Amino acid sequence: MSLLSTKLVANGDSGLTVLFDAPVSEQLSRQIQWLSKQCQQQFAEFLLDTIPAYQSLTLLYRPRANTYQMLHEALQNMLLKPIAQDDYQAKNISIPVCYQGEYAPDLQAMAKTCGLSTQEVVALHFAPEYLVHILGFSPGFLYLGGLAQALICPRKSIPATSVPAGSVGIGGEQTGIYPQASPGGWHIIGRTPLKLFTPHSASPCIAQPLDKIVFEPISPQDFVRLSEKK
């Protein structure tokens, strides 16, 4: 294991962020998850939450005297050693997606932007196995790594005011799934009938960081049938 280049910065009056100077990868995500869990254990009495991201980890702490200095010094010492990789055993999760009609309102326009047919976009999108890097910006939103280069597409210049729950979108180099209806600026190329976030269950999110996702194309008829089973 080699040392990672990092920088510690204050984040508001009760946050401390570790910035990692390394490309987004499964290895980096495993290291960030490992560090997050170590901080949760070692600083439990001071922390309110930890927020792992693609290339950063933010610690939210109780704003007491000298807490920032203590966490800053402790993290500096931790980062003097190589960071291990989280040994979480990933689940393999298949998510059915309808890439047709009303469930894929931006598919045609995005295909044109990418210089592809709609069939090529769909085939390229469901072919890979995706890695769940992080969860955000709304509860249970899956940020997935592994998008085909040919599908990289700038986000919409004008975001939609409401994206239906279950919508599968592409924004920049990312693909992800909207767990609730919300505004969004990604290109919606499909929708899943599965419920991705159930807040009152023991495991509210359908997937966790480091899980693996594959998409399974389904017909509109299958979508309706699976929706009725919820």
CATH of the domain at 125: 2.40.100.10
Q: Within this chain, do residues 129 and 181 fall inside the same structural domain, yes or no?
A: yes
The answer as to whether 127 is a domain residue is yes
Point out the residues of the chain with pLDDT beneath 70: 1-2, 230
Q: Within this chain, do residues 125 and 208 fall inside the same structural domain, yes or no?
A: yes
79/58 Cα distance (integer angstroms): 14
Q: Within this chain, do residues 37 and 72 fall inside the same structural domain, yes or no?
A: yes
Question: Which pLDDT value is given to residue 77?
Answer: 92
Q: Is 90 helix (H, G, I), strand (E, B) or coil?
A: coil
Question: Which pLDDT value is given to residue 136?
Answer: 84
The answer as to whether 85 is a domain residue is no
The answer as to whether 204 is a domain residue is yes
Q: Are strands 212-218 and 92-98 parallel, antiparallel or unpaired?
A: parallel
Question: Which pLDDT value is given to residue 2?
Answer: 60
Q: Within this chain, do residues 134 and 195 fall inside the same structural domain, yes or no?
A: yes
Q: Within this chain, do residues 52 and 154 fall inside the same structural domain, yes or no?
A: no
CATH of the domain at 54: 3.30.1360.40
Single out the residue in 78, 101, 123 at which a domain terminates: 78
57/100 Cα distance (integer angstroms): 38
Single out the residue in 55, 78, 101 at which a domain terminates: 78
Q: Within this chain, do residues 97 and 73 fall inside the same structural domain, yes or no?
A: no
Domain that holds residue 42: 6-78
Which DSSP letter does residue 137 get?
Answer: S
List, for residues 11-50, the tens digit of each pLDDT value.
998 999 999 999 999 999 999 999 999 999 999 999 999 9
29, 96, 123, 130 from 22: Cα distances, Å: 10, 33, 31, 20
Indicate the number of domains in the chain.
Answer: 2
Question: Which pLDDT value is given to residue 100?
Answer: 97
The answer as to whether 193 is a domain residue is yes
Residue type, 173: E
Q: Within this chain, do residues 219 and 109 fall inside the same structural domain, yes or no?
A: yes
